[in-house]
């Protein structure tokens, strides 16, 4: 198998904080890797190292077969990068932004114009192409930013939290574009704190926490590693919640979660489910809803890290923000304002 | 680890850009800084509102009191105002660079296979052209108000060349400020609190004779004094050699001190 991205033991420190603490990554050509993790986990630092913007303190990485430190220029000619926020020149029009990139990539003027028009059409920006980017909505800027990273037809695309702060509709649009790129054979590395996003888009997922890869695999494999499916029971009568909770807890051997009229517990052995049903029946409890489903990535994350995805943020545990780490502050402060509290989906 | 894939067939992976490519990248990025004027022609005036205001205020408010007549004062102060404006304008490089960094445009440019220096040189080329514009505007407006060039076209070209040389040297500290300041507001505060005292404690606006002696001593060293004197000489006639030499020495000194610091700050970002 050939790899588009290979990283071994990548390390980057900011003062006492290890933004990257020995990260290994392998992305086969043409696959979409989702890098999942909470704010400050080191996702952005990893992207910045792989995109040649940041020199690692330790380890090495190859992108498209070229070393990101010694052959940075070659790496740059293969990659496209879209950051956490739209890196477009707001004073230029959509067309000018794209023509500028095309010209920098040594396209003749006419070709740069043609390519700009093509991308604007693809991203539904043709009408807005003649307006300054500062008049664009957030979703439009993001699309323009993505278009800018595609001008040079990159083999490899880094998308660093491309949908952070977007409304659901713009997010769905962007997902469709990303799927299209993958279908075109582009290798994509996408970071996200939205668990659903990784689930929806990624062929493979790695989970980052505190600068380390703490799990990797396909979405299904990850869900399976926690060993658990989730049983959910909603009694018809809210007064039966306690009874249901004690039965479920009794059979599964661990206290279930009770929230919103719903009792849910991890099931390692699906054979136990009928006995729960029987005992509830004996007690005359009617279940309005009873289901067995795979764990969500959120639950996987909780199982892997011991904390929920959104918790680390309030805990102030953000390696990128260490003192004196100006470059590190890029890691996650920028989206601090744009991010919405909708991490756990 | 298994085999590492080379680049896909049919893809040309360029080597480092040569001199010609570097110049093309610089030109493209200079174009990028200038083309916005096309959409927002007011920007050209924005650049000039403050200098024009200074020109009018100084000439008509202080002129009579300082020099006895507004006409005499204008002949004295215009070169000083031109020098002051050049210094302030040199910090637009810092503001532009800082904006690129905070908006992420700088990272986008650095992720492209272009000459590493182009994001800096492109901006500096564009800002230099803006300096030429500001000079022309000042001189033109000054002449409308009664300023007279007594030397001729070579004097004007000489004054412009000297100012641009100084502005280019100033772009090194400007780059350093742009790279290290947290945001655009900080750049502006820094620029204002540094440039105002330096430009005002010179002979740019008033002869230094009435200043306290300690301030006179500083005003004699102040590069703005020498620059203003040199521009006066080149536009109105009079001795130029000494003041121009000291100005150029100051410019060289700024470059020698700040170029390595700026380059280091630039490299540290990679």
> Who contacts B173 (Cβ-Cβ below 8 Å, separation ≥6)?
B254, B258, B262
Cβ separation of A74 and B7 shorter than 8 Å? yes
Minimum-distance CB partner of A3 among B4, B111, B269 = B4
Which residues of chain B make contact with A132, given a CB cutoff of 8 A?
36, 39-40
Tell me if A41 sits within 8 A of A307, measured CB to CB: no
pLDDT of residue B80: 93
Q: What is the DSSP string of A19-63?
A: EEEEEEEEEETT-EEEEE--TTSSHHHHHHHHTTSS--SEEEEEE
Query: Measuring CA to CA, how many Å separate B85 from each of A78, A83, B43, B181?
Result: 44, 37, 16, 22
pTM of the model: 0.80
Task: Choose, out of B29, B99, B106, B113, the residue to mutate when testing the contact with A (most A CBs < 10 Å).
Answer: B113
Distance in Å, alpha carbon of B26 to nearest chain A alpha carbon: 9
Cβ separation of B108 and A103 shorter than 8 Å? no
Q: What span, in angstroms and rounded, lies between the C-alpha atoms of B194 and B5?
A: 53
Cβ separation of B28 and A100 shorter than 8 Å? yes
Minimum-distance CB partner of A83 among B29, B39, B104 = B104
Q: In chain A, where are the structural domains located?
A: 3-78+154-224, 228-294
Report the residue of chain A nearest B37, measured CA to CA: A91
Which residues of chain A make contact with B9, given a CB cutoff of 8 A?
none
Task: Choose, out of A2, A5, A63, A89, the residue to mutate when testing the contact with B (most B CBs < 10 Å).
Answer: A89
Question: Superfamily for A3-78+154-224?
Answer: P-loop containing nucleotide triphosphate hydrolases (3.40.50.300)
Q: What span, in angstroms and rounded, lies between the C-alpha atoms of A292 and A271?
A: 11
Distance in Å, alpha carbon of A259 to nearest chain B alpha carbon: 42
Cβ separation of A6 and B103 shorter than 8 Å? no
The count of other CB atoms within 10 Å of the CB of residue B237 is 13
Q: What span, in angstroms and rounded, lies between the C-alpha atoms of A193 and A168?
A: 15
Minimum-distance CB partner of A155 among B8, B24, B108 = B8
Tell me if B76 sits within 8 A of B67, measured CB to CB: yes
Q: Where are the beta strands (DSSP E) in chain A?
A: 3-14, 17-28, 32-36, 58-63, 66-67, 79-82, 156-160, 187-192, 204-209, 212-217, 229-235, 257-259, 262-267, 287-294
Report the residue of chain A nearest B1, measured CA to CA: A6
Which residues of chain B make contact with A106, given a CB cutoff of 8 A?
21, 24
Strand partners, A290: A233
Report the residue of chain B nearest A150, measured CA to CA: B112
What's the start-to-end Cα distance of chain A, in Å?
34
Q: What is the DSSP string of A238-250?
A: GGGHHHHHHHHHH
Cβ separation of A3 and B110 shorter than 8 Å? no
Burial (Cβ within 10 Å: 0-12, 13-18, ≥19) of residue A337: exposed
Report the residue of chain B nearest A109, measured CA to CA: B28
Distance in Å, alpha carbon of B5 to nearest chain A alpha carbon: 5
Biggest CA–CA distance in chain B, Å, is 85
Distance in Å, alpha carbon of A65 to nearest chain B alpha carbon: 5
- Where b means 16+ CB within 10 Å and e means fewer, B114-141 reads bbbebbbbbbbbbbbebbeebbebbbeb
Which residues of chain B make contact with A330, given a CB cutoff of 8 A?
107
User: A85 CB near a chain B CB, below 8 Å?
Assistant: yes
Report the residue of chain A nearest B118, measured CA to CA: A104
Cβ separation of B110 and A53 shorter than 8 Å? yes
Percentages (nearest 5) of helix, strand, coil residues in chain A: 40, 25, 35
pLDDT of residue A309: 54
Query: Measuring CA to CA, how many Å separate A124 from each of A142, A174, B143?
Result: 12, 11, 52
pLDDT of residue A345: 31
Report the residue of chain A nearest B16, measured CA to CA: A73
pLDDT of residue B229: 94
Which residues of chain A make contact with B44, given a CB cutoff of 8 A?
none
Cβ separation of B108 and A155 shorter than 8 Å? no
Strand partners, A217: A205
Q: What is the CATH number of domain A228-294?
A: 3.30.70
Whether the complex's predicted ipTM is more than 0.90 is answered with no
pLDDT of residue A292: 84
Task: Choose, out of A56, A77, A98, A129, the residue to mutate when testing the contact with B (most B CBs < 10 Å).
Answer: A77
Task: Show the tokens assigned to B262.
Answer: 């700026």
pLDDT of residue B12: 56
Minimum-distance CB partner of A132 among B7, B24, B39 = B39
Q: What span, in angstroms and rounded, lies between the C-alpha atoms of B229 and B242?
A: 9
Q: What span, in angstroms and rounded, lies between the C-alpha atoms of A147 and A123?
A: 7
pLDDT of residue A312: 41
- A341: closest CA among A321, A304, A306, A314? A314
Report the residue of chain B nearest A104, measured CA to CA: B25
Cβ separation of A83 and B107 shorter than 8 Å? yes
User: A129 CB near a chain B CB, below 8 Å?
Assistant: no
pLDDT of residue B269: 67
Is the sign of the CA dihedral A207, A213, A218, A220 positive or negative? Answer: negative
Distance in Å, alpha carbon of A309 to nearest chain B alpha carbon: 26
Q: What span, in angstroms and rounded, lies between the C-alpha atoms of B182 and B173?
A: 15
Is the sign of the CA dihedral B199, B200, B204, B205 positive or negative? Answer: positive
Which residues of chain A make contact with B180, given a CB cutoff of 8 A?
326
Distance in Å, alpha carbon of A169 to nearest chain B alpha carbon: 24
Which residues of chain A make contact with B98, given a CB cutoff of 8 A?
none
* Regions in chain B scoring below 50 on pLDDT: 1-10
Q: What span, in angstroms and rounded, lies between the C-alpha atoms of A219 and A203?
A: 8
Residue located via tokens 């290979």: A6
pLDDT in tens, chain A (345 residues): 588 999 999 999 988 888 899 999 999 999 999 998 888 889 999 999 999 999 999 999 999 999 999 999 999 999 999 977 668 999 999 999 999 999 999 999 999 999 999 999 999 999 999 999 999 988 899 899 999 999 999 999 999 998 888 888 888 888 998 999 989 999 999 999 887 888 889 999 999 988 989 888 888 888 777 666 788 899 988 888 888 999 988 888 888 888 888 888 888 777 888 888 899 889 888 888 888 887 776 777 777 777 665 544 433 333 333 333 333 333 333 333 333 333 333
Tell me if A234 sits within 8 A of A196, measured CB to CB: no
């Amino acid at each position: 198998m050939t790899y588009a991205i290979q990283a071994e033991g990548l390390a980057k420190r900011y003062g006492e904080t290890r933004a990257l603490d020995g990260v290994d990554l392998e992305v086969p050509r043409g696959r979409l890797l989702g890098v999942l993790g909470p704010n400050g986990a080191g996702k952005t630092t990893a992207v910045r190292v792989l995109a040649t913007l940041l020199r690692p303190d330790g380890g090495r990485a190859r992108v498209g077969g070229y070393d990101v430190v010694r052959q940075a220029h070659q790496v740059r000619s293969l990659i496209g990068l879209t950051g956490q926020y739209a890196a477009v020149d707001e004073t230029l029009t959509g067309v000018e932004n794209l023509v500028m990139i095309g010209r920098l990539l040594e396209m003749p003027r006419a070709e740069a114009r043609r390519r700009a028009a093509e991308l604007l059409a693809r991203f539904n920006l043709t009408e807005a192409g003649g307006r300054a980017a500062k008049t664009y909505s957030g979703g439009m800027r993001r699309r323009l930013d993505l278009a800018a990273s595609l001008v040079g037809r990159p083999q490899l695309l880094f998308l660093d939290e491309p949908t952070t702060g977007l409304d659901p509709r713009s997010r769905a649009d962007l997902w469709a574009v990303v799927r299209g790129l993958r279908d075109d054979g582009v290798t994509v590395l996408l970071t996200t704190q939205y668990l659903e996003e990784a689930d929806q888009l990624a062929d493979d997922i790695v989970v980052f926490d505190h600068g380390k890869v703490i799990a990797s695999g396909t979405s299904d494999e990850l869900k399976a590693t926690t060993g658990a499916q989730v049983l959910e029971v909603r009694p018809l009568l809210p007064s039966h919640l306690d009874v249901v909770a004690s039965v479920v807890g009794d059979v599964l051997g661990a206290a279930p979660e009770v929230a919103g009229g719903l009792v849910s517990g991890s099931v390692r052995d699906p054979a136990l489910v009928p006995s729960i049903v029987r005992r509830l029946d004996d007690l005359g409890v009617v279940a309005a809803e009873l289901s067995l489903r795979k764990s969500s990535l959120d639950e996987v994350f909780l199982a892997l890290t011991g904390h929920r995805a959104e918790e680390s943020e309030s805990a102030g545990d953000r390696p990128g923000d260490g003192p004196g780490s100006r470059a590190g502050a890029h890691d996650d402060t920028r989206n601090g304002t744009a991010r919405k509290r909708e991490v756990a989906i | 680890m298994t085999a590492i894939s080379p680049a896909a067939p049919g893809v040309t992976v360029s080597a480092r850009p040569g001199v010609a490519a570097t110049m093309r990248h610089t030109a493209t990025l200079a174009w990028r800084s200038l083309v916005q004027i096309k959409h927002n022609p007011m920007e050209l005036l924005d650049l000039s509102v403050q200098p024009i205001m200074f020109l009018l205020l100084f000439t008509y408010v202080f002129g009579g009191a300082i020099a006895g007549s507004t006409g005499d004062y204008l002949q004295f102060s215009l070169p000083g105002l031109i020098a002051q404006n050049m210094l302030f304008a040199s910090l637009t490089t810092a503001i532009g660079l800082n904006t690129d960094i905070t908006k992420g445009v700088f990272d986008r440019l650095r992720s492209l296979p272009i000459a590493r220096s182009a994001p800096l040189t492109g901006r500096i080329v564009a800002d230099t052209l803006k300096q030429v514009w500001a000079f022309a505007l000042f001189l033109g407006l000054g002449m409308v108000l009664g300023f007279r060039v007594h030397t001729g076209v070579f004097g004007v070209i000489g004054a412009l060349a000297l100012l641009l040389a100084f502005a280019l040297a100033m772009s090194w500290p400007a780059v350093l400020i742009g790279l290290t300041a947290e945001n655009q507001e900080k750049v502006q505060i820094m620029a204002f609190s540094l440039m105002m005292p330096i430009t005002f404690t010179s002979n740019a606006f008033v002869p230094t004779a009435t200043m306290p002696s300690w301030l006179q001593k500083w005003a004699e060293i102040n590069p703005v004094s020498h620059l203003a004197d040199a521009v006066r000489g080149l536009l109105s006639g009079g001795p130029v050699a000494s003041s121009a030499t000291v100005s150029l020495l100051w410019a060289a000194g700024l470059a020698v001190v700040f170029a390595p610091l700026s380059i280091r700050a630039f490299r540290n970002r990679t």
